Structures are given as C-alpha cells and as structure tokens.
Structure 1
Amino acid sequence: MASFGWKRKAGEKVSKTAVQHFEAEAEKTEADASNREEEADWLYAIKRRREVLMEDCAAKSKRLKDEGAQLAEQGRHWEAIKKWDEAIHLTPDNPALYEMKSQVLSILQEVFPAVKAAEMAVKFRPLWWEGWQTLGRAQLNLGEVDLAVRSFQVAVHLCPSESTLWQEDLAWACRLQKQHLATKEKVRQEEEAKKQILNAPELEQDYDFESEEVLAACEAVAERQMRYEELRKTAVVIDAEGNIKNVVTREGASLNTANPSKEQFTKARGI
C-alpha cells in the first residue's frame, strides 16, 4: 500500500539557479525601463532648450532687423548692413533681411552683392513679388537687362494689381531692352563698315591713275569711311514714347555728313 504524503506546491521543484536567473532578468527589465524614461526626459529637455534658443534667436533677429531699418532711414547704410548681417547669422532663412540688404547695397552701388542678396530673398520666398521687384532693379543696375525683364514679369504675374510694376519697372526695363538690342545692331553695323574699309575690293586692284576708275574707287572708299564715321559718332537713345533714335554725340556734332563729290578728288595728271 502506497504511503500518503502532502502534495507539493507548483514550482517547488524549480531550481534555485533558475529562480536567481528570473530575478536578474526582472531587475534588468526594470533598469532598462528606467533608462528609457531618463533618456526620454533628456531628449525632451534638449528639444525644449532648442525651442527656447530658436525663440531667442528669432526675437534678437527681429530687433536687429528693426535697428538696421532705422539706420538705413538715417542714411547710415553700412551700419544697417552690419545689423542685418548679424540678424542673418541668427535666422539665415529670413527673406526680408536679404531683400532689405539688397536695396541698401544698390544705393551704395554695390551692384553684384545686391543681386546676390536679392537672389537669396526669392530663393527662400519664391512667391514674394517684392523680392522679385528688388531683384529686377538690382539686375538693371548690374546691366543684366534681359534678366531684369524676366524678374519684373514674375513680379507682375504674382501681383498684377501693383501698378508700379507695370508702369515703372517693367515698362522701363522693356525700353532699355529695346535700346540694348538697337545698340547691339549699331555695333554690328559699325564693325561691318570697318571691315569693308579695311577689305575694300577697290584697294586690291591696279588702276591707271589717268582713268576715271580711280575717281570711282576713291568715291566708294570715301563713302564707306563716311558711313563708318557716322556710326562711330552716333549713339542709340530712346524717347519718352519708346522710339529708338540715333543721335549725333557732341564729338560728332561737327562731322561733315555730305556725300563726297568728284570735285574732292583729282586725277594724278592734274596734280
């Protein structure tokens, strides 16, 4: 007959080593959870500190921006630019700072830096019509008429109700563009006239100095020279209505534009 005994409790046969292992795992889990909580608190503190620093930078940048505007109104342009440079260091993506800086640089005739500053303004705020207007004006000062026309066209597209863009900026740039094209054509004609003088076919022939051919050759060469001098002494201008005109400059005012006649030339035999 089997002897009677007490039933052992569940887990009573678990070894001591296993129990210690389970306890160590539990302690490790609790430590990991604590570390995660501390890491989360640390990340939140860094994020909050960064937000505070950004708020401080924005506030200081605005103060420097306003101080620069006051200096610019007083005509202290370089001091204003220094203030705005400090503000840009704090908030490098603020388009208003670059736009204001471009305006003052244009006043100071720093044409290339003015264009670069305006380009940064439209880069950070591409739908800002005033930024494109400032860029166009800076490009005009640099002599980039075609680029200025495009910038003003973009500004008009963004704000078609702004009358100054139509009546002043874009209209003036288009007139300058017409004048620029006319000037290029005048320079081309001048170079062509000069080339015809240097490479005149009449100079390549042998003439009998007692013949009438000499007079005809001299007349032809003289006409080319007079044409070249006329082009060289004139300038392309544009009137208020936008019409292109060639005006004789002061140096060419006394130029005799009469066509050469045969009386101005003498055959060799008559000398």
Structure 2
Amino acid sequence: MASFGWKKKIGERVSKSAVQHFETEADKAEGDKQSQDEEVDWLHAIKRRKEILLEDCAAKSKRLKDEGTQLAEQGRHWEAIKKWDEAIQLTPDDPLLYEMKSQVLTILHEVFPAVKAAETAVKFRPLWWEGWQTLGRAQLNLGEVDLAVRSFQIAIHQCPSENTLWQEDLSWAWTLQRQLSATKEKTRQEEETKKRILNAPELERDYDFESDEVLAACVAVAERQSHYEELKRTTVVIDAEGNIRNVVTGEKGPEDTATSSKEQFVKSRGL
C-alpha cells in the first residue's frame, strides 16, 4: 500500500507538472498568435492608410485638374497652369495634366516649356495620339519642323482616321519643311554669289584696258552683283495653295542699277 501510494503521489506530481508545462506552452503559443495577429493588423492598417492617402490624392488631383480646365476656358491661363502644377504634385504620372499644360503654354508662347511638358505626356503615355499631336504643335512653335513632322507621323500611325492630323498638322508641317529647305538653298546661293563677287575670277588677270576682254569681265562682275542684290531682296513665301514661291520685294536703288549692259560700259570707255 505504501508503495502504491507513493507511486500515486509521484504520478500526481508528474501530472501536475505536465499540465503546468502544457498550460505554459499554450499561453506562450496564444501570446505568439496574438502578437502575430497584432503585427498583421498593423501592416494592414499601414497598407489601408496608404490606399486612403492615394485615393485622397487622386480625388484632389482631379478636382484641381477640373478647376484648371475651367480657368483655361475662361482665358485665365496662368491660373490654370498653377492648378495643374498643384495636381502634378499629387499625381506626377498623369499624362493628361502635362498635355493640357503644354497646350496652354503654347498659347502663351512659352515654347520651350510647352515642348518639355508635351514630351513628359508622351513619356507616360506613348500610345496616345493626342499627346503626340500636342507635342508636334509645340515643336512647330519652337521651330523644330523636322521633329514636328515625326511627331505628327507617329500620331497618324496611332490614329490614321483622324483627318486633322493629315489635313492640318502634317500638311502644314510639310509645307514649312519645304519652305525651310528653300530658304536654306536661297542662303546658300547668296553666300556663293557673294564669294564669287569678292573673289571674281575675271579680276585675277591683267587686262589691256582697251581690249574687249576687260569689257566682258566688267559685264560678268556687274551681272553677278545684280544677281546678288536680287537674291537679298528675295523672300521665300507660301501662297494660298501651300506652294513655295520666291518673291522679290522692294525696289531697286541707285546702287542696284548696276550698269550691266555692254553699251553702257562702252560709253564709260569712251570718256
């Protein structure tokens, strides 16, 4: 009996110790689970907070964008730009804000900022034909005709059914491109003619002043001088049909009426 009682008491102590151990482990596990739950809730709260902030930024940006649009329609362009700049601070990847800003800057003749804003718009949305159209128009105002042609061509590639791109934007850009090419050619001719006047090959020889050769040399130099003066008075213009024409403006002055006829040179020799 004593032995049995001893075993029973030992067994009771073991059972209580085991139970206490299990209870401790259970409490620890529950505490860890609660801690994990609290950590998950904390992360979820941060994520939810960010979502709310993003939603607030998007809503405020839309409000500012709409206010800027109304101001632009009223002709209050600088106030509109200010609203859109505030919206850009909230949603810096919205291409529409940059595109509208570029349009208004073009109206205000702020040509370089207009190009930069349009470039940002197509950077964020490269498959947007209206963004490329706005960029092309801004580039035209900046004088970058070749770049404008390329931008309009990209816009047409994305939206070939848009008639304004064909009939207005690209057609006008091509006309300006031809005009620019004609102007460069005219400048080249002026420089070449001026060089031939200053370094006339006819004057490199020694002539007998009583010979016909010196008369021919003077006629050639005079005709070249007249051609140079005519080039200086010539302007490259675009007619109503979009054709490039060279128009001579102004009237000849006394210095332009160079004696280019052989008879007048003969009179000079007879004096």
TM (norm. structure 1) is: 0.86
Please name the residue that 2:74 is paired with.
74
Is the contact between residue 64 and residue 84 of structure 2 (CA under 8 Å) also seen in structure 1? yes
What is the CA-CA distance between 1:158 and the residue it aligns to?
1.2
What is the CA deviation profile of residues 99-155 of structure 1, one whole-angstrom value per residue up to 9, with x for unaligned ones?
A: 111111011000000011111111111111111111111111001111111111111
Cα distance in 2 for residues equivalent to 1:258 and 1:205:
22
2:230 is aligned with 1:230: yes
SS in 2 for 1:247: strand
Figure out how many residues of one structure are paired with residues of the other and give that number.
262
* 1:181–1:268 CA distance, 2 compared to 1 (3 A): closer
SS in 1 for 2:152: helix
SS in 2 for 1:102: helix
What is the CA-CA distance between 1:270 and the residue it aligns to?
3.0
Aligned AA for 1:246? N
What is the CA deviation profile of residues 134-188 of structure 1, one whole-angstrom value per residue up to 9, with x for unaligned ones?
A: 1111111001111111111111111111111111111111111111111111111
Is the contact between residue 215 and residue 267 of structure 1 (CA under 8 Å) also seen in structure 2? no
Is the contact between residue 230 and residue 257 of structure 1 (CA under 8 Å) also seen in structure 2? no
Please name the residue that 1:157 is paired with.
157
Is the contact between residue 209 and residue 267 of structure 1 (CA under 8 Å) also seen in structure 2? no
Please name the residue that 1:254 is paired with.
252
SS in 2 for 1:75: coil
Please name the residue that 1:129 is paired with.
129
Point out where structure 1 has 5 or more consecutive residues left out of the alignment. none
Is the contact between residue 72 and residue 104 of structure 1 (CA under 8 Å) also seen in structure 2? yes
Is the contact between residue 222 and residue 258 of structure 2 (CA under 8 Å) also seen in structure 1? no
2:219 is aligned with 1:219: yes
Cα distance in 2 for residues equivalent to 1:26 and 1:233:
102
Cα distance in 1 for residues equivalent to 2:217 and 2:23:
118
SS in 2 for 1:62: helix
* 1:110–1:269 CA distance, 2 compared to 1 (3 A): closer
Equivalence map 1:180-199=2 (5 Å): 180-199=180-199
What is the CA deviation profile of residues 211-265 of structure 1, one whole-angstrom value per residue up to 9, with x for unaligned ones?
A: 2221111111111111111111101122233322100123xx3366898111232
Is the contact between residue 215 and residue 262 of structure 2 (CA under 8 Å) also seen in structure 1? yes
Cα distance in 2 for residues equivalent to 1:241 and 1:71:
37
SS in 2 for 1:170: helix
Please name the residue that 1:84 is paired with.
84
Cα distance in 2 for residues equivalent to 1:24 and 1:220:
117
- Percent of matched pairs sharing the same residue: 77
Cα distance in 2 for residues equivalent to 1:197 and 1:118:
47
SS in 1 for 2:242: coil
Is the contact between residue 106 and residue 114 of structure 1 (CA under 8 Å) also seen in structure 2? yes
| Greater percentage in helix | 2
What is the CA deviation profile of residues 25-70 of structure 1, one whole-angstrom value per residue up to 9, with x for unaligned ones?
A: 8776655544333222111111111110111111111111111111
Is the contact between residue 115 and residue 135 of structure 1 (CA under 8 Å) also seen in structure 2? yes
Cα distance in 2 for residues equivalent to 1:259 and 1:28:
115
SS in 1 for 2:235: strand
What is the CA-CA distance between 1:201 and the residue it aligns to?
1.2
SS in 1 for 2:211: coil
Comparing 192-201 and 235-244, the one that deviates more:
235-244
Is the contact between residue 259 and residue 265 of structure 2 (CA under 8 Å) also seen in structure 1? no
Please name the residue that 1:244 is paired with.
244
User: How large is the RMSD of aligned CA atoms in angstroms?
Assistant: 2.9
* 1:97–1:219 CA distance, 2 compared to 1 (3 A): same
What is the CA deviation profile of residues 77-106 of structure 1, one whole-angstrom value per residue up to 9, with x for unaligned ones?
A: 111100000001111111111111111101
